[in-house]
Each structure stands twice: as structure tokens, then as C-alpha cells.
Amino acid sequence: MSVSLYYTARRATPLTGSESAAVTRVVTARQASFPYEDEESLYVYAPRAAEPGTVLDGSTKMPLDPGRLLPVVAHVLDSVTELRRALPDAGWHVHLDDLDIEWDEAKGYELPGMRDPDLMGELAAGPDGAVTAPDGRGTPGR
């Protein structure tokens, strides 16, 4: 069973040229800095596929590996935060399947514990105590 993060921005007016350029810059930079080549990153759908009034939408399938979940969630939510700040006058809806993710003006989009190093370590530890490294290889556990 997979879980995905969905993000949508709506407003009555389409993106301007400078807004489209800003979105492209954010998407390109965030995709380039994504930590895992074999996982889904920020994925923005083609504008022509969007519903009327939707100026940006996309989704990211979350990894099945628990050790990669929090780094991916944090990276993608940070990416969506940058996109929202580039399009502040749009109405945004961000959700992880059925769970709405609230906007915080100071922090942006985040989930409780998504940057907690202890929680990340616990999730990364396999049943045998091995920790999965970012390259996918196991390293000795704690």
C-alpha cells in the first residue's frame, strides 16, 4: 500500500511569466537536491492537465522504506513551502492522503517529528539493528 503527498494551488488568474519562471527554478533546484535517486521527488503536473483555476498541482509517492520516509517528507514539504512562498496569493491544499497538512507562516509545511534525529534513527534501524544508509546499504546499528 502506498501513501502519497498531494499539493495544489488555485486562483482565478493563471501564472504570470515571472511566476512560472520562479516555479521552474524552485522545482529544478529542489529536484537536484533530493537525497535519493531511486525515490520520487517533488513532481509538478503539466499545467495543461490541471483543472480550471488550478495554477499548480502535483504529488509525490512516499517511500516504503521507513528509514527514508522522514527525509523524503521533509524535503518535499520544504519544496512545497518554497512554492507557496513563490505563489502567496493562491489558495493551497497540501495533504498526505487523508491527512491535511496545515500551513504555518513561520515554519511553512511540516509534520510533527519530521526533523527529529532520534525518530529518524529509530525508523532507519532495521529489525536486525542495521541502519539503512542513504545509498541503500546497511550500516552497523547502534
The secondary structure element, H or E, covering residue 95 is strand 91-96
Which one, of 77, 85, 79, 66, lies nearest residue 111 by Cα? 77
Cα 69 to its chain centre, rounded Å, is: 10
Cα 106 to its chain centre, rounded Å, is: 18
Number of C-alpha atoms within 13 angstroms, CB side, residue 79? 31
Confidence band of 134 (pLDDT split at 50, 70, 90)? low
**Is residue 70 within 8 Å of residue 123, measured between CB atoms?**
yes
Cα 91 to its chain centre, rounded Å, is: 18
How many CB atoms are located within 10 Å of the residue 126 CB?
14
* Mean pLDDT over the full length of the chain: 88
Give the pLDDT of residue 51. Answer: 80
Give the pLDDT of residue 25. Answer: 97
Give the pLDDT of residue 127. Answer: 57
Q: What is the pTM of this model?
A: 0.84
Give the pLDDT of residue 129. Answer: 56
**pLDDT 10s digits, 56-78:** 999 999 999 988 999 999 999 99
Name the one residue in this structure whose C-alpha cell is 524535503. 75
Pairing of strands 54-61, 91-96: unpaired
Checking if the pLDDT of 116 tops 70, the result is yes
